[in-house]
């Protein structure tokens, strides 16, 4: 998978904590699928900061920008006011404005489209001993492009616009812009206050098909959706810009289980499949998704799903199934949801 040629160049960031563990699994599955990629390792994150005092150098961002896409594990972001979030810097630096998160387990079939560059993650902050503020930035351009992305992805499904415009007046612009875009695109839509959306997602998760939300609301609702779908460890994401994309499981570095070989690798494996799909290799992407469902149904599950398998056992089961499917065996078992 690593020699040059016309293969797409992909920056590989393993990261901290369980990041390297789940990325190893994703690589094993990509290898089994015969994916043709030219991987460029890039080291960023907390581990590097502790070792060198620098979490990410400008050259690292450049290296990521020069690749077609990025496959990313997870990194630790300490709550230290002097530490700048590397992920925010990458999302902003590569202008990866659309964070796409599919949830398809436990009967859910939901796509969350999260604005990824502004809102409460604007980075415009004043930190004082007695008063700290963070500026919530909503722009017409930012709202328009995320609404357009959601409308492109809606494909006949009803779009739910999530907001809190009754209290946060900045959300009036977001809501209005999303409505305008959906109306012009002929996309059926509704809107819902974020607290009601959280409640309804627990009460009746199948009610929602596709949601568009500002940065923080999308972040929180997607962990909620992950909980409803069974585990954070199952869930994948893509961060899209107009020319670049970064693929990562939605979970973090999980320091509580790091190094124990029990992290669920499915989110990372599915992220790799999303990447192949984006690269135009939808056949391999589908094969990997089917193999994941097959492995989960067969009981290859890590402890977060109540199973007894290790990370490597799940990866090996998925990789084995991918090989079987790729060679024409295996029937159709594995389609649909777990």
Q: Which among 105, 121, 191, 289 is annotated as catalytic? A: 121
Interface residue with ligand NAI, options 214, 253, 271, 287 (CB under 6 A): 253
Strand partners, 189: 159
The three-point CA angle 299-305-306 to 5° equals 80
H helix or E strand, kind and range, residue 197: helix 194-203
25-35 per-residue burial string, b: 16 or more CB within 10 A, e: under 16: bbbbbbebbeb
**Torsions phi, psi for 249 (to 5 deg):** -65, 155
Catalytic residue check, 313: no
CB under 5 A: which stretch of 29-37, 151-159, 215-223, 309-317 binds Mg ion?
215-223
Q: Are 290 and 335 in contact (CB under 8 A)?
A: yes
DSSP-assigned letter for residue 5: S
Q: Which residue is listed with tokens 């992909």?
A: 10
Interface residue with ligand NAI, options 251, 270, 301, 321 (CB under 6 A): 251
In terms of phi and psi (left: phi > 0; alpha: psi -120 to 50; beta: otherwise), the region of 230 is left
Q: Which of ligand NAI, Mg ion, none does residue 305 bind (CB under 5 to 8 Å by kind)?
A: none
The 263-282 site mask, x for binding ligand NAI (CB under 6 A), equals: xx--x---------------
Q: Are 222 and 170 in contact (CB under 8 A)?
A: no
Q: Which is nearer to ligand NAI, 143 or 231 (CB)?
A: 231
Measure the CA–CA gap between 217 and 163, rounded to whole angstroms: 8
Q: Which is nearer to Mg ion, 215 or 287 (CB)?
A: 215
Biggest distance spanned by C-alpha atoms of the chain = 65
Catalytic residue check, 169: no
Q: Which of Mg ion, ligand NAI, none does residue 237 bind (CB under 5 to 8 Å by kind)?
A: none
Three-class HEC string of 240-297: ECCCCEEEEECCCCCCCCCCCCCCCCHHHHHHHHHHHHHCCCHHHHHHHHHHHHHHHH
Q: Which is nearer to ligand NAI, 160 or 237 (CB)?
A: 237
CB under 5 A: which stretch of 82-90, 116-124, 213-221, 324-332 binds Mg ion?
213-221
Position of minimal CB gap to ligand NAI: 252
**What residues numbered 60-89 form the site for ligand NAI, per CB under 6 A?**
74-77, 87
Asked if 244 is part of the footprint of ligand NAI (rule: CB under 6 A), the reply reads no
Q: Shortest distance, CB of residue 199 to ligand NAI, whole angstroms?
A: 22
Q: Which is nearer to ligand NAI, 169 or 308 (CB)?
A: 308
H helix or E strand, kind and range, residue 181: helix 170-185
Asked if 219 is part of the footprint of Mg ion (rule: CB under 5 A), the reply reads yes
Site size toward Mg ion (CB under 5 A) is 1
- Residue 110's nearest CA partner among 189, 195, 208, 182 is 208
DSSP-assigned letter for residue 165: T
Catalytic residue check, 121: yes
Q: Shortest distance, CB of residue 36 to ligand NAI, whole angstroms?
A: 26
Q: Are 191 and 161 in contact (CB under 8 A)?
A: yes
Catalytic residue check, 219: yes
Asked if 232 is part of the footprint of ligand NAI (rule: CB under 6 A), the reply reads yes
Q: Which among 50, 83, 155, 195 is annotated as catalytic? A: 195
Asked if 171 is part of the footprint of Mg ion (rule: CB under 5 A), the reply reads no
Q: Shortest distance, CB of residue 280 to ligand NAI, whole angstroms?
A: 25
Site size toward ligand NAI (CB under 6 A) is 22
Q: Which residues are known catalytic residues?
A: 121, 164, 195, 219, 223
Binding site for Mg ion (CB under 5 A): 219
Binding site for ligand NAI (CB under 6 A): 18, 22, 74-77, 87, 232-233, 248, 251-257, 263-264, 267, 302, 304
């Amino acid at each position: 998978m690593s020699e040059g040629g016309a293969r797409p160049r992909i920056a590989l960031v393993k990261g901290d904590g369980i990041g390297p563990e789940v990325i190893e699994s994703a690589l094993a599955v990509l290898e089994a699928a015969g994916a043709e990629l030219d991987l460029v390792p890039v080291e960023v994150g907390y581990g590097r900061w502790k070792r060198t005092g620098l979490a990410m150098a400008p050259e690292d961002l450049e290296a990521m920008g020069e690749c077609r896409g990025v496959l990313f594990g997870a990194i630790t972001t300490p709550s230290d006011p002097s530490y700048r979030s590397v992920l925010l810097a990458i999302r902003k630096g590569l202008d990866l404005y659309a964070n796409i998160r599919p949830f398809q387990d436990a009967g859910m079939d939901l796509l969350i489209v999260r604005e990824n560059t502004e809102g409460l993650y604007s980075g415009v902050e004043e930190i004082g001993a007695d008063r700290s503020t963070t500026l919530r930035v909503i722009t017409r351009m930012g709202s328009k492009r995320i609404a357009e992305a959601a409308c492109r992805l809606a494909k006949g499904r009803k779009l739910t616009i999530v907001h809190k415009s009754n209290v946060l007046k900045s959300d009036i612009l977001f809501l209005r812009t999303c409505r305008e875009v959906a109306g012009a695109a002929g996309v059926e839509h509704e809107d819902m206050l974020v607290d009601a959306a959280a409640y309804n997602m627990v009460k009746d998760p199948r009610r929602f098909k596709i949601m568009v939300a500002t940065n923080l609301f999308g972040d929180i609702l997607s962990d909620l959706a992950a909980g409803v779908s069974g585990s954070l460890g199952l869930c994948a994401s893509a961060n899209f810009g107009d020319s670049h994309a970064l693929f990562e499981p939605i979970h973090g570095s999980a320091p509580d289980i790091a190094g124990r070989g029990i992290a669920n690798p499915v989110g990372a494996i599915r992220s790799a499949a999303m990447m192949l799909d984006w690269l135009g290799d939808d056949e391999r992407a589908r094969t990997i998704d089917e193999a994941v469902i097959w492995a989960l149904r067969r009981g290859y599950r890590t402890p977060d799903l109540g199973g007894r398998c290790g990370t490597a056992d799940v990866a090996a089961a998925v990789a084995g199934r991918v090989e079987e499917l790729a060679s024409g065996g295996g029937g159709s078992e594995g389609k649909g949801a777990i």
